[in-house]
A = this chain, B = another copy of it.
Amino acid sequence: MPNPQTFAISGEDLEIENLKQQLLDSHAGALATFEGWVRNHNEGQAVERLEYSSYPALANKEGQRIIEEAFEKFEIDAAIARHRVGMLEIGGIAVWVGVSAAHRGAAFDACRYIIEEVKGRVPIWKKEYYSSGATDWVNCHQET
């Protein structure tokens, strides 16, 4: 069963080795992980850094729901997801998901499910700072 620490928004750098240790379990044979790093470009523009922000109360609740769904859908032993907020430089780790399971198929499927759903549903926003000096809220281009 997921515990309350499975999903969290973090204002500090993610300590991935530490998170991985939490997934170690002698029953598990497979660990699938996903890391998202800040890229130096997006849609042709040179990105200098990124700022992530969140609506913490709902983000943590929704992230937790996603982990619970992963436990319902896939035969997994443990899952952890962390999303960084604050200012991040190029190469910084924005998101980490790790899933352990007895079999690799379930570990991959659940890991991918979690990152897809986190990206699609959890209220986290990304502001890009370009080399040109401009900034942009990603995905917010629609006009009324």
**Interface residues of A, dominant DSSP:** mixed
Interchain CB contact under 8 A, B27 and A39: yes
Give the number of chain A interface residues (Cβ < 8 Å). Answer: 27
Interface positions, chain A 48-106, Cβ under 8 Å from B, are: 90-91, 102, 104
Q: A19 on the interface (CB 8 Å rule)?
A: no
Give chain A's interface residues, CB within 8 Å of chain B. 17, 24, 26-41, 90-91, 102, 104, 107-108, 111-112, 115
Cβ contacts A to B, 29 pairs, < 8 Å: A17-B17, A24-B37, A24-B91, A26-B40, A26-B90, A26-B91, A27-B39, A27-B40, A27-B41, A28-B37, A28-B39, A29-B39, A30-B34, A30-B35, A30-B36, A30-B37, A31-B33, A31-B34, A31-B35, A32-B32, A32-B33, A32-B34, A32-B111, A33-B33, A33-B35, A34-B104, A36-B104, A108-B111, A108-B112
